[in-house]
Structure 1
Amino acid sequence: MGDRMNRFSLYAALIVGAISAPALSQGQIGTVERGAYICELPGDAAGAVGVEQPEESFVIESASRYSSPQGSGTYLRRDNQIIMTSGPRNGTAYQMIARGFLRKIVDGQPGRLRCVRQGE
């Protein structure tokens, strides 16, 4: 009976681990600070620090809603990744570098486009 109990305990632990692992790997759900995020590409040494990209800018309106020049939708934040989940930017993702500072994800990595929250 002892061998049977040990196997049962092992199976139970494996099942619990398999069930909880995907939930843990997805990260904590959070929100993004409300306000206007102005997006820009880096400038060069001879000119402006950044080159504004107005079509990429957006406003975080509430705990899960954004609006952009193209329309509005919803987003989801998990840990430091923000994914637009509906609307015209559905599937667009950003990496939160610091509070109020995001980088658009391109090919799975933070790209050159940066979005900075404007002060109020």
Structure 2
Amino acid sequence: MGTLTLGNYTCELPGDASGPRGKELPDYAFRVVNASNYKASGVRGSYLYTGDRVVMTGGKLKGLKFRRVSTGFLRQVDDAGKEMEMRCVLTSRAF
């Protein structure tokens, strides 16, 4: 088991070459506040991080699943583990 880097994560869908880099999804933004807890829209929740998988186990984002691609970069996956379009990126660290 592990923990995510503390700070704010912005979630987005990829853009294209003719427009913005990505389409921000504010309803999915969250802040990791301590070892296994996050806040989204003011609601505290929990997550479980094992191997390269992150599962939101409580709170507003309960049920969302991610694969940790690198430090501060998560890609949403479906129940079968297939990558989906949404990505969440650490945009500011907490100190």
TM-score, length of structure 2 as denominator length? 0.89
Give the distance between the partners of 2:59 and 2:10, measured in 1 at CA: 19
Q: What does residue 26 of structure 2 align with?
A: 54
> Structure 2 matches for 1:92-103, cutoff 5 A?
92-103=64-75
- Partner SS for 2:27: helix
Aligned pairs, number: 92
| Bigger proportion of residues as helix | 1
Question: Is structure 2 residue 36 aligned with structure 1 residue 64?
Answer: yes
More off after superposition, 68-77 vs 54-63? 68-77
Given that 1:32 and 1:60 are in contact with CA atoms closer than 8 Å, whether structure 2 keeps it comes out as yes
Alignment equivalent of 2:50, drawn from 55, 60, 78: 78
| Counterpart-to-counterpart distance in 2, 1:119 and 1:32 | 13
Q: What CA RMSD, in Å, does the superposition of the two structures yield over aligned residues?
A: 1.3
Please tell me the residue identity of whatever aligns with 1:32: L
Q: Which has the larger radius of gyration?
A: 1
User: 8 Å contact 1:38–1:54 — kept in the other structure?
Assistant: yes
Q: Distance in 2 between matches of 1:89 and 1:38?
A: 13
What is the aligned partner in structure 1 of residue 89 from structure 2?
116
- Taking only the aligned residue pairs, the percentage that are identical comes to 37
- Secondary structure of the corresponding residue to residue 72 of structure 1: strand
Q: Which runs of 4+ in 1 moved over 2 A?
A: none
Higher RCO structure (Cα 8 Å, ≥6 apart) = 2
2:3–2:36 contact (8 Å) kept in structure 1: yes
Which whole-Å deviations, capped at 9, do the CAs of 1:79-104 have from their partners, x for residues lacking one?
11011111222221111001100011
> Which structure is higher in strand share?
2
1:88 aligns with 2:66: no
